[in-house]
Amino acid sequence: MMESVSLIRPELFLALAALAFLLMSAWFQKAEGIIYGCAGVMVIAALWIACADGAGVLLNGMIAVDDFRRFVKVIILLSGAAALLFAPSFFKQDDPVDGAYGVLALFASLGMLGMVSATHLLSFYVSFELQNLALYILVAMRRDNRASSEAGVKYFVLGALASGVMVFGLSWLYGFAGSGSYAMIASAADHAQGLGLGVGMIFVLAGLAFKVSLVPFHMWTPDVYDGAAAPVTGFLTAAPKIAAMAVLGFLLLVPFGGLWVFWQGPLAALALLSMFWGALAGLLQTHIKRLMAYSAILNMGTLLLAVLARDGQSLLLYLCVYVMAALGVMGGVSLIRIKGQELERIEDCAGLGRVHPVLAGAMALCLFSLAAVPPMAGFLGKFMVFFAAVKADFTGLAALGLLASVLAAAFYLRVVKVIYFEAPKQEAASFEAQGLPARAAAAAVVLLALASSFLMIYPGPLLTWTASAAESLL
């Protein structure tokens, strides 16, 4: 018992820290300190998880620890911490937000860690709801902002529906296997393939597809991304997507690995629809956060190719690369102020290259990485995914995915063009990013941009780490 608890010490630390910060936020009026503290706790927990080793199933088969889960947890926590860094400078100028922001982000990441660790339907569902609930609140947190409230309600209602669909699927799986444990479901699936298994799997897949916004389930994404405050959008683009995509990949590859024949058709359809709809609809967007929403849809579709090819390494690598670049862009968006207002339209970025060369350069590097321009990390990620798909005899899908990502490169590069080559309009000429919080956020953006650009030159450590993580998956 003792050694099993020692495997989840970082998570316990995270939970206790969240409670401590919750208490502190009742007394300390300074929200900034609490938000930075929460980010620090996330980084500490990430390092702790990264340095730990050992594997095993613990707490009565509810959760497990292994290399795959450890890797995913580390990138969830690091991306969550980066997204928290963007918050203080953003909310300082807008409306003051209380320490609950950081605490909710901590609880959300705790839920995501639980989702990834789960080896039982019950523990999976409880953690899934923990992160969902915290995210709904984060989205709706700017009370005075109508768009934000609308986004919160939309996310909540649609998310509750998706949860209902997923729970329905979970109940079918439980009914089929007579147990909620993944291992029991997998062994039951080996012996008999009944209606319950198929129905349950499809409904669970639908619930997770909603979470990662794959195309028939993506409707909420642009509205929620656009309505939420920019740092919250940054949080949404990264951590929940990593968690849900990792769980999707894990569920399909491990417990449902034997049912590959059944899920590959629906999954290929989801991938194609997401890639093309993300690329085509992204071309028409005028708002930067909506553009990032369609970018998320497109990239999640691309990631499905890695799941289809049953290649854990390219899945993890591409997740990392995408999250770094998307977080960098969202960090830039949350730093830019146009006459004290949040940046919304892409055309308002015009002239950023002259006013803020550092921030503009970092954002451009991240956008290049998203567009998968060769020297950037994004190219490495996309190359790995498409290469894995071709190796697994999905040549047609890989070719179509390549076409979609070429289409998508156009909308990323359009933003770069606006940043550097368009003359700023008179009324939108002021960009303000001053003070220590803004500097810290800018430093995080620059760091993400540098990581996105140098990963291609020195990919060794990440490649070996993702390879060993993927090895424990299959």
Partner 1 sequence: MIEAVIFYMFAFVLMAAAAACVSVRQPVLAVLSLILCFFNAAGLMVLLGAEFLAFVVLIVYVGAVAVLFLFVVMMLDVRAPAAEPKKRQRFLRPAFAVVTAILFLEILVVVFSSLSASDVAPVIEADFENTRLLGQVLYTDYIYPFQMAGLLLLVGMIGAMALTLTKRKEVKRQKLWDQLDRRAGEVLEVRSVKTGEGLL
In this chain, which stretch among 32-40, 56-64, 251-259, 448-456 interacts with partner 1, using CB under 8 A? Answer: 56-64
Among positions 52, 126, 402, 467, the unique one binding partner 1 when judged by CB under 8 A:
126
Burial class (CB in 10 A: 0-12, 13-18, 19+), 423: exposed
List the end-to-end C-alpha distance of the chain, in Å, as a whole number. Answer: 27
3-state secondary structure 319-356: HHHHHHHHHHHHHHHHHCEECCEECCEHHHHCCHHHHC
Residue placing its CB nearer to partner 1 in the complex, 22 or 373? 22
Q: Kindly state the smallest distance separating residue 293's Cβ from partner 1, in Å.
A: 23
Token duo for residue 267: 């999954």
How many of the other CB atoms lie within 10 Å of CB of 37?
21
**Does the footprint of partner 1 cover residue 119 (CB under 8 A)?**
no
In this chain, which stretch among 73-81, 101-109, 228-236, 414-422 interacts with partner 1, using CB under 8 A? Answer: 101-109
Residues pairing with 338 in the sheet: 341, 431
Q: Please answer whether residues 363 and 307 qualify as being in contact, where contact means their C-beta atoms are separated by less than 8 angstroms.
A: no
Residue placing its CB nearer to partner 1 in the complex, 126 or 429? 126
Nearest CA among 330, 329, 347 for reference residue 338? 347
In this chain, which stretch among 135-143, 241-249, 259-267, 305-313 interacts with partner 1, using CB under 8 A? Answer: 135-143
Residue placing its CB nearer to partner 1 in the complex, 141 or 279? 141
Among positions 21, 36, 67, 129, the unique one binding partner 1 when judged by CB under 8 A:
129
Where on the phi/psi map is residue 66: left (φ > 0), alpha (ψ -120 to 50), or beta? beta
Among positions 72, 133, 307, 404, the unique one binding partner 1 when judged by CB under 8 A:
133
Residue placing its CB nearer to partner 1 in the complex, 104 or 456? 104
Residue placing its CB nearer to partner 1 in the complex, 62 or 271? 62
Among positions 16, 56, 60, 260, the unique one binding partner 1 when judged by CB under 8 A:
60
In this chain, which stretch among 55-63, 353-361, 397-405, 412-420 interacts with partner 1, using CB under 8 A? Answer: 55-63
Among positions 76, 78, 100, 247, the unique one binding partner 1 when judged by CB under 8 A:
100
Q: Kindly state the smallest distance separating residue 194's Cβ from partner 1, in Å.
A: 16
**Does the footprint of partner 1 cover residue 98 (CB under 8 A)?**
yes
Among positions 39, 64, 76, 134, the unique one binding partner 1 when judged by CB under 8 A:
134
Spatial separation of the C-alpha atoms in residues 148 and 374, rounded to whole Å:
37
Burial class (CB in 10 A: 0-12, 13-18, 19+), 54: exposed
In this chain, which stretch among 57-65, 369-377, 390-398, 402-410 interacts with partner 1, using CB under 8 A? Answer: 57-65
Token duo for residue 293: 């929403």
**Does the footprint of partner 1 cover residue 103 (CB under 8 A)?**
yes
Q: Which of residues 13-52 bind partner 1 (CB under 8 A)?
A: 15, 22
Among positions 31, 140, 166, 325, the unique one binding partner 1 when judged by CB under 8 A:
140
**Does the footprint of partner 1 cover residue 167 (CB under 8 A)?**
no
**Does the footprint of partner 1 cover residue 123 (CB under 8 A)?**
yes
Q: Kindly state the smallest distance separating residue 118's Cβ from partner 1, in Å.
A: 9
Full DSSP string of 83-147: HHHTHHHHHHHS----THHHHHHHHHHHHHHHHHHB-BHHHHHHHHHHHHHHHHHHHT--TT-HH
Spatial separation of the C-alpha atoms in residues 348 and 361, rounded to whole Å:
16
Spatial separation of the C-alpha atoms in residues 117 and 248, rounded to whole Å:
13
Among positions 57, 62, 215, 352, the unique one binding partner 1 when judged by CB under 8 A:
62
Spatial separation of the C-alpha atoms in residues 330 and 335, rounded to whole Å:
9
**Does the footprint of partner 1 cover residue 404 (CB under 8 A)?**
no
Q: Are strands 56-58 and 337-338 parallel, antiparallel or unpaired?
A: unpaired
Residue placing its CB nearer to partner 1 in the complex, 30 or 417? 30
In this chain, which stretch among 119-127, 198-206, 274-282, 372-380 interacts with partner 1, using CB under 8 A? Answer: 119-127
In this chain, which stretch among 95-103, 191-199, 228-236, 257-265 interacts with partner 1, using CB under 8 A? Answer: 95-103
Among positions 34, 42, 130, 321, the unique one binding partner 1 when judged by CB under 8 A:
130
Spatial separation of the C-alpha atoms in residues 279 and 233, rounded to whole Å:
19
Residues pairing with 64 in the sheet: 57
CB-hemisphere CA count at 13 Å for 203? Answer: 20
Token duo for residue 121: 């339907």
Q: Please answer whether residues 11 and 28 qualify as being in contact, where contact means their C-beta atoms are separated by less than 8 angstroms.
A: no
Residue placing its CB nearer to partner 1 in the complex, 97 or 304? 97
Between vectors from CA 341 to CA 338 and to CA 342, what angle results, nearest 5°? 90
Among positions 17, 63, 441, 448, the unique one binding partner 1 when judged by CB under 8 A:
63
3-class secondary-structure state, position 201:
helix
**Does the footprint of partner 1 cover residue 72 (CB under 8 A)?**
no
**Does the footprint of partner 1 cover residue 153 (CB under 8 A)?**
no
Torsion from C-alpha of 267, 273, 274, 275, nearest 10 degrees? 110
Q: Site residues (CB under 8 A) for partner 1?
A: 15, 22, 59-60, 62-63, 98, 100, 103-104, 107, 110-111, 114, 120, 122-123, 126-127, 129-130, 133-134, 136-137, 140-141, 143, 152
